[in-house]
Amino acid sequence: MVLLSLALKSLRNRLLVSALTVLSIALSVTLLVGVENVRAGVRDSFAGTIRGTDLIVGARGGTMQVLMSTVFGMATPAGGITMGTYEQWKAHPAIKWTIPYSLGDSHRGFRVIGTTSEFFEHYRFRNERVTFAEGGAPTGDTDVAIGHDVAQRLGYRMGQKIVVAHGTGGVTFSEHQAHPFTVVGIIARTFTPIDRALYVTLAGIEAMHELEESGGAAPAAPPAGATAPGGAPLVMPGASGPPAGATAPGGAPLVMPGSSGPPAQAAPPPPPPAPKKPAHGEEGHEHVDGDEHDHDDEHAHGDDEAEHDHDDDKITAFFVGTQTRLETLRLQREMNDDTREPLTAIVPGVALAELWQGVGNAEVGLKVVAFFTVLIGLAGMLVSLYSSLEARRREMAILRAVGARPSTIVALLVLESGVLAVLGAALGVALVYAGLSLAQGPVEDRFGLLIPIRALGSTEWMYLALIVIAGFLVGLVPAWKAYRSSLVDGLSPRT
């Protein structure tokens, strides 16, 4: 206790230098422990995004592509799965439940997901289920439930009308103006990609695109009595023909293109020509009057689908819960080997482990930088103690003169170095928790990552112990020099 009291008084006499040394150690500890804490928190946040799902099944593609496109919304799906294939696998005796997932639409940068009530019943994150802050799950084909971030950033409330656009992210092609959705639920915050998504029913996705393909709402009829140039009654395309008895200039009955004329005045159709016997090699290639028109319609319809390709008889992926965990690997192999439709079935936990192996080099790089920062801090403490020893020659000599042995001087300097290391480590841990408290909210709002404020783990405690031990060892260098100094060296006048 006497040595500790002397060490503290000595450090207090050199308050500025001691404070700067403690601060340098604290910043090093903050970086090292903070990197480890954030790394573990981010890993837990990613791993907790999906729990309780045994398989994720998508079109044939890479493991990361299926995982990132369905769970995290950070990639483009490889393709779609036909509803027939989905229904066949849904009826598999080893499968307990499934969640269909349909992607391809968005709203103001947030992705729109078509699914069923099974999503809200079976999907789990961090062993929790999806709940609602307001309202409930969508049930009708015009209902939509929105995530927490969507509601906050866009200012949406219950009953809000929204229009979905075809395309994902910031790239959209056309808006489905004819089929608006109504907000019927706001999902409680989850700190997962669920907060940044909108959920509609599969029937809503189908109805939205069927309405668009049929031309949307019918155009408004012209006002009564409206006429086209020349005095003819105005009839909009697709509307019923002009009133009976209407005539065009010259007295001929008025018939709009594509509509049938009045029955009373319609001329009898000419008799159909006799069928011509096809020449050799032309069997099965008869050409009738409607072929060219049908071909043109097919071509036009194909162009329209090319512009807006959204197969409503397909889904993007589906999540699977098996009857028992023992069935998972067998079912995965069976799905991947299916010859009816190429599929990729992944185990979420295994895929997440592969993801972290991919970013492992970045983690190692951060750790290396943090360790070098700690070494720099310890080197700074060594320089501070060593340089101050020259100014403390007389102090050491006086201690020797009053009976302190050389081993006492060594213990005093080592204790001073250790106290600086302990104070720096403690301050560094305090800075880590203060930084996490201040940054937790902005990180959650900006990136949707929950970085928990948790107790130090075994790895962090090991780092702190190594830093404190290194601090004591650093004190041996100036202590050895003081040990070798003679009593006369400190009491003799300087030349």
Residues 197 and 60 both lie in one domain: yes
Range name among 222-236, 292-306, 332-346 with the lowest pLDDT average: 292-306
Would 139 be classed as within a structural domain?
yes
Confidence of residue 256 (pLDDT cuts 50, 70, 90): very low
pLDDT at 289 over 50: no
Residues 323 and 183 both lie in one domain: yes
Q: Which of 298, 318, 346 is the last residue of a domain?
A: 346
Q: Which domain holds residue 100?
A: 55-214+309-346
Residues 143 and 184 both lie in one domain: yes
Residue 493, burial from CB neighbour count under 10 angstroms (0-12, 13-18, 19+): exposed
Give residue-wise pLDDT tens across range 401-428: 777 777 787 888 888 888 999 999 999 9
Residues 19 and 104 both lie in one domain: no
Residue 460 burial (CB count, 10 A): 20
Residues 313 and 432 both lie in one domain: no
Residues 371 and 339 both lie in one domain: no
Residues 43 and 64 both lie in one domain: no
Residues 152 and 60 both lie in one domain: yes
pLDDT at 474 over 70: yes
Q: What is the 3-state secondary structure (H, E, C) of the chain?
A: CHHHHHHHHHHHHCHHHHHHHHHHHHHHHHHHHHHHHHHHHHHHHHHCCCECCCEEEEECCCHHHHHHHHHHCCCCCCCCEEHHHHHHHHCCCCEEEEEEEEEEEEECCEEEEEECHHHHHHCEECCEECCEEEECCCCCCCEEEECHHHHHHHCCCCCCEECCEECCCCCCCEECCCCCEEEEEEECCCCCHHHHEEEEEHHHHHHHHHHHHCCCCCCCCCCCCCECCCCCECCCCCCCCCCCCCECCCCCECCCCCCCCCHHHCCCCCCCCCCCCCCCCCCCCCCCHHHHHHHHHHHHHHHHHHHCCCCCCEECEEEEEECCCCHHHHHHHHHHCCCCCCEEEECHHHHHHHHHHHCHHHHHHHHHHHHHHHHHHHHHHHHHHHHHHHHCHHHHHHHHHCCCCHHHHHHHHHHHHHHHHHHHHHHHHHHHHHHHHHHHHHHHHHHCCCCCCCCCCHHHHHHHHHHHHHHHHHCHHHHHHHHHCCHHHHHCCCC
Residues 63 and 181 both lie in one domain: yes
Would 224 be classed as within a structural domain?
no
Would 263 be classed as within a structural domain?
no
Would 286 be classed as within a structural domain?
no
Give residue-wise pLDDT tens across range 86-143: 999 999 999 999 999 999 888 988 999 999 999 999 999 988 899 999 999 999 999 9
Q: Which of 300, 323, 346 is the last residue of a domain?
A: 346
Q: Is the pTM of this model over 0.75?
A: no
Residues 135 and 24 both lie in one domain: no
Would 146 be classed as within a structural domain?
yes
Single-letter amino acid code for the residue at 307: E
Residues 105 and 23 both lie in one domain: no
What pLDDT score does 449 carry? 67
Question: 72 CB contacts (<8 Å, ≥6 apart)?
Answer: 49, 193
Q: Which of 290, 319, 346 is the last residue of a domain?
A: 346
Residues 80 and 209 both lie in one domain: yes
Count of structural domains within the chain: 2
Would 254 be classed as within a structural domain?
no
Would 205 be classed as within a structural domain?
yes
What pLDDT score does 485 carry? 64
Mean pLDDT value across the chain:
76
Would 268 be classed as within a structural domain?
no
